[in-house]
């Protein structure tokens, strides 16, 4: 029974002593924008990820009792209700986070870019976690509700895709903060209709404009790259901004430099050449580095801070960190190295 609970169903052992299976309508309600057929298509591992995210929000509610989360809260400070103006919203969020395109172009790797964007978003009150999804076509999801909105990213996908997903989901949180619709999964544009589809398109537009601001793109590269692009130009620009080639190609389409047919043909060819091993999953490797990457430096430090203050014991700390108590020391060493001056 313990094996079934822990390893197969990922449930508390006590659940098996209930008279009836627990009702979990709340999980489906989180994504009620999506049609029932789309929800049925989600694999058990994806639903497990959503349950983990809900549990993580409860953990954050407890952990932040022992630490001041800070005064900045993006969702409250910026009005994200204007679905029809994603470009304006992207510029406003840029100013709020305080990272200029010139700063972005100085980053030397996709890893550095993702770490910096993650830190910036978390400093503005939105938590960012990662995990490896077995359902590889799920890029990520967000959960709103309460004081701890969060984004989950699929660590098995390339870093530039994770960056785009982060800001796609941030757009969902901004658009939906003052509305009944609360959460989203980055996968289902083809299923959506009407206003829901418009929101999904707006989230894509927000992420693309945020990561590659139109004015900066034209001022710095417009005279050089206008017209039908070569593969070398697309690769160079994607490396400059630390985004995918598709994001850059979309700029060409928006400028009218290419037509929709050219855009679709290019994107299709890239999708066909992309192999299942093309992602940057850290499965395998160093256990503590993997776990630290999933949780993030900020959350891990928050959990240890309460422990150092005597708010809870090592067993409770291990639960917050989702590891065995015997592994706490190893994760602490990883955190110390991450926080040490470089």
- Domain boundaries along the sequence of the chain: 45-278, 287-339
In Å, what is the CA distance from 287 to each residue of 300, 307, 323, 337?
Answer: 15, 21, 10, 15
Counting Cα atoms < 13 Å in the Cβ hemisphere of 197 gives: 7
Cβ-proximal residues to 41 (8 Å cutoff; 6+ apart), any chain: none
So what's the pLDDT on residue 25?
A: 58
Residue 170 scores a pLDDT above 60: yes
The H-or-E segment that residue 185 falls in is strand 184-185
pLDDT in tens, 110-154: 999 999 999 999 999 999 999 999 888 889 999 887 788 999 999
At residue 14, does pLDDT exceed 90? no
How does pLDDT run across 211-270, given as a tens digit for each residue?
A: 999 999 988 886 666 678 889 989 999 999 999 999 999 999 988 889 999 999 999 998
What contacts 226, CB < 8 A, 6 or more positions away? 255, 257
Report DSSP state, residue 140.
E
So what's the pLDDT on residue 331?
96
CB-based contacts of 155, cutoff 8 Å, min separation 6: 130, 131, 132, 162, 280, 281, 282, 293, 294
Nearest-CA neighbor of 196 among 163, 172, 166? 172
d(CA 323, CA 301): 15
pTM of model > 0.95:
no
Q: pLDDT tens digits for 287-331?
A: 999 999 999 999 999 999 999 999 999 999 999 999 999 999 999
Q: How far apart are CA 120 and CA 115, in angstroms?
A: 9
Mean pLDDT of the chain: 84
């Amino acid at each position: 029974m313990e094996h079934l609970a822990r390893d197969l169903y990922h449930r508390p052992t006590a659940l098996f002593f209930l008279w009836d299976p627990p009702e979990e309508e709340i999980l489906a309600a989180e994504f009620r924008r999506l049609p029932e057929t789309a929800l049925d298509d989600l694999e058990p591992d994806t639903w497990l990820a959503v349950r983990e995210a809900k549990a993580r929000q409860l953990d954050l509610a407890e952990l932040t009792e022992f630490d001041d989360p800070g005064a900045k809260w993006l969702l409250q400070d910026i009005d994200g209700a204007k679905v029809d103006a994603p470009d304006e919203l992207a510029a406003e969020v840029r100013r709020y986070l305080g990272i200029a395109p010139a700063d972005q172009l100085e980053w030397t790797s996709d890893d550095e870019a993702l770490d910096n964007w993650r830190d910036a978003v978390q400093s503005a009150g939105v938590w960012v976690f990662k995990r490896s999804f077995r359902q590889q076509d799920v890029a990520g999801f967000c959960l709103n509700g309460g004081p701890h909105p969060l984004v989950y990213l699929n660590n098995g996908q390339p870093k530039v895709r994770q960056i785009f997903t982060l800001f796609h989901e941030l757009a969902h949180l901004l658009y939906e903060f003052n509305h009944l619709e609360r959460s989203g999964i980055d996968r289902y544009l083809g299923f959506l209709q009407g206003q829901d589809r418009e929101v999904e398109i707006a989230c894509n537009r927000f992420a693309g404009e945020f990561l590659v601001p139109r004015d900066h793109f034209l001022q710095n590269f417009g005279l050089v790259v206008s017209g039908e692009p070569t593969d070398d130009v697309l690769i160079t620009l994607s490396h400059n901004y630390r985004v995918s080639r598709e994001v850059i190609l979309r700029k060409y389409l928006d400028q009218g430099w290419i037509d929709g047919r050219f855009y679709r043909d290019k994107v299709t060819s890239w999708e066909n050449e992309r192999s299942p091993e093309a992602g940057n999953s850290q499965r395998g490797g160093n256990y503590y580095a993997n776990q630290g990457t999933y949780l993030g430096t900020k959350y891990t430090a928050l959990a240890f801070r309460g422990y150092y203050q005597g708010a809870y014991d090592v067993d409770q700390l291990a639960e917050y960190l989702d590891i065995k108590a015997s592994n706490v020391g190893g994760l602490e060493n990883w955190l110390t190295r991450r926080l040490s001056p470089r």
